[in-house]
Structure 1
């Protein structure tokens, strides 16, 4: 089987820009809406938004690769990196490392891509690991770099990257392309950058996380400000489709279908960011309306519901949830919940054991 890097045209990808024009226009239009919405956000809300989105991206980009991190630890590291108050103490190396990488990505998006930048990212990603030979440098092993599934006797090779001895030359070309492609449309550049990098697969491990970071760097450079996207959360929601598309377009040079898929994924991530901004604004308005009206139990539950984000508790808050969170007796929980509905904090759906409560936000 021939892989795309074995084609004579490599790495000059071809695509139909006409099929991307509407998606590109949507991205720019929605970017303007996001920027406009941010004007209504306070400094504290903006800090909360940045921490939420960066920590979500850090956690989900690791989840895609099968690594599950503690959200509180990641958020604490990110807050500490931004000089914000945090009560959590020592954090595990993996969580501290990805938090540091995502913070650096946010702060240095304008800087040109370089070997050193990616080496530093790789060191952060692999913090605390001792199972890798090449940390903070491109891979050097002689064995083929393959993406394989199945048992040894039925293994299926989904992709094989260029051999290690050609990685340095491939990355020189990639970095040169990335730093000189800023005039490309945002979604097109980000989509090519991600696929191009993944097809080289230059590191022993961590290529997916670094590749997604490169895509976000491309978008931030196009907008001339951090994108504030949780791209990986959107990818993680349908990880199977992501890997299918990568596999589908790792054999040829024509990549229109890949760019359409990746562009729509970015737009979905952008929609989530806008929902989160609107959610934070609504949160402030609700707290202002309820100021000094909640008892300690109610305040704890409302805070817990807000912590779940725009989608809230899966399936809604039940009376049992309320009792579990507060330790209140059932009769007390019933009175508290009825009172929260009267105050306009919650709305109710269902009856009897199917009764559920939701934040009453505009």
Structure 2
């Protein structure tokens, strides 16, 4: 099975003179995006790489490769097996498992952003979800416990993003980093280290609004496989970076909720833990999909995320089987 390559790598396979490679690349791009199995979206991510400045005039798309088909089929099988294994647990065992997963997910999604969490304090919050307490991570605990119940996460308008953000990250964002626009940030940010910029998201709230309106439309469409839709929505949210702080935690929460809806709650409540084990691959996949030379192709990003979901499921199946 030939390995699918993004355009910035594929160009080296072309048996053409350097000055004619652009013709071959355009021909390959048109073949990919016009294939009847390709998922072409109404989304236009902000593309940036330090040596390649620019934005996207091309829609985000993913090629339905054989690897993606196989991973998606494996995810469906694993989800069914997890549902069967969960049903074999007693009510007490199931409750204990869910609370353990919620604690782990919150710890790891924060750890990815280098935010420390006191596990003992968090367990106390998760074990007392009814009482609304003004405590660290109480919002995250309530939200992730809702994921365990597969409560639908409805996002129909821009305000819904802000309402979820305020609840999920209650008491977690410092005053200086709260949104400075009406709903989102309204100032420039850069992603990277003090020495290197890896991404520059939309600069103003007006630009952010335009992108997120399209994301809402895409997320609510019925024509795309819900697992692919969850992954692409996750990519677009992180690419847009609508808040000054907390984007990663927010985006992974929405991903967890969407996977719980389309698959099962144990898969949804394992995703951040697994991402933390593959964090370099996770960020590299973002960077590769954001290169202008790859023409907004998200194929390998989707493929990498599917592999992470599979690994999370296999880890959970092994745990429950034992």
Q: Please report the TM-score for the alignment, with normalisation by the length of structure 1.
A: 0.66
1:156 aligned onto 2:201: no
Larger radius of gyration: 1
SS in 2 for 1:131: helix
The counterpart of 1:130, out of the listed 175, 179, 192, is 175
Higher relative contact order (CA 8 A, sep 6+): 2
Spell out structure 1 runs of 4+ moving beyond 6 A. Answer: none
Per the alignment, do residues 106 and 119 of structure 1 end up closer, same or farther by CA in structure 2, a change over 3 Å counting?
farther
In 2 relative to 1, CA 95–214 (structure 1 residues): closer, same or farther, beyond 3 Å?
Answer: closer
Cα RMSD for the two superposed structures: 2.7
Give 1:120 shift: 2.8
Mapped contact 2:107–2:117 kept (Cα < 8 A): yes
Q: Are 2:49 and 1:6 equivalent residues in the alignment? A: no
Give the secondary structure class of the aligned counterpart of 1:188: helix
Q: How many residues align?
A: 266
Partner secondary structure for residue 20 of structure 1: helix
3-state SS, counterpart of residue 117 of structure 2 = coil
Write out per-residue CA displacement over residues 87-143 of structure 1, whole angstroms, 9 at most, x where no aligned residue: xxx97733223212322444464242243443233223141532324189643333x
Q: Secondary structure at the match of 2:198?
A: strand
Q: Which moved more, 1:200-209 or 1:187-196?
A: 187-196
- Contact 1:158–1:247 (CA<8 Å) still a contact in 2? yes
Pairs within 5 Å for 1:91-130: 93-107=135-149, 109-114=151-156, 115-123=158-166, 124-127=168-171, 129-130=174-175
Cα shift at 1:225: 5.7
Q: Secondary structure at the match of 1:148?
A: strand
1:258 aligned to 298, 301, 306, which one? 301
Matched, 1:167 2:208: yes
Distance 1:105 1:42 in 2: 20
Local SS of the residue matching 2:197: strand
Aligned mates of 2:73, 2:154 — CA distance in 1 = 25
Change in 2 beyond 3 A, CA 1:116/1:31:
same
**CA pair 118-198 structure 1, distance change in 2 beyond 3 A:** same
Checking the alignment, whether the CA contact within 8 Å between 1:13 and 1:253 is kept in structure 2 is yes
Spell out the pairing of 1:1-362 with structure 2 (5 A cutoff).
2-3=47-48, 6-10=55-59, 12-81=60-129, 93-107=135-149, 109-114=151-156, 115-123=158-166, 124-127=168-171, 129-134=174-179, 138-142=183-187, 144-150=188-194, 155-164=195-204, 165-180=206-221, 182-223=222-263, 227-251=267-291, 252-279=295-322
Query: How far apart are the structure 2 equivalents of 1:122 and 1:136?
Result: 14
Q: For structure 2, which runs of at least 5 residues remain unmatched after alignment?
A: 1-45
Q: Where do 5+ consecutive residues of structure 1 fail to align?
A: 84-89, 280-362
Cα distance between partner residues in 1 of 2:299 and 2:61: 9
